[in-house]
Amino acid sequence: MSTDHVDGNGSHPEHLRVLYGDRFAGKHQFRDRVWQVLTGQYFSRWIPATATVLDLGCGYCEFINNVTARRRLAMDLNPDAATQAGPGVELVLHDCSQPWPVEAGSVDVVFTSNFLEHLLDKPQVMATLRNAHTALKPGGRIIALGPNVRYLPGLYWDFFDHLVPLTERSLAEALMAAGFEVEVSIARFLPYTMSGARTYPPMFLSAYLRLPPVWRFLGKQFVVVAKRPL
pLDDT class for 9, splitting at 50, 70, 90? very low
pLDDT digits (tens, 9 = 90+) for 201-221: 889 999 999 999 999 999 999
pLDDT of residue 15: 52
Run of H or E residues at 73: strand 71-76
Contact between residue 137 and residue 105 where contact means Cβ atoms under 8 Å apart: yes
**Structural domains for the chain:** 13-227 (3.40.50.150)
> From CA 54, how far away is CA 40, in angstroms rounded?
17
pTM: 0.88
**3-state helix vs strand vs coil in the chain, percent to 5:** 40, 20, 40
**Residue 222 φ then ψ, to 5°:** -90, 160
Q: What is the mean pLDDT of residues 38-47?
A: 97
pLDDT of residue 26: 54
pLDDT exceeding 70 applies to what percent of the chain? 86
**Cα–Cα separations (whole angstroms), residue 111 to 124, 200, 201:** 17, 25, 25
DSSP code, position 82: H
pLDDT digits (tens, 9 = 90+) for 133-175: 999 999 999 999 999 999 998 888 888 889 999 999 999 999 9
Beta bridge partners of 181: 227
> From CA 171, how far away is CA 165, in angstroms rounded?
10
pLDDT of residue 14: 52
DSSP code, position 151: G
84 CB-near residues (< 8 Å, 6+ apart): 28, 59, 60, 61, 65
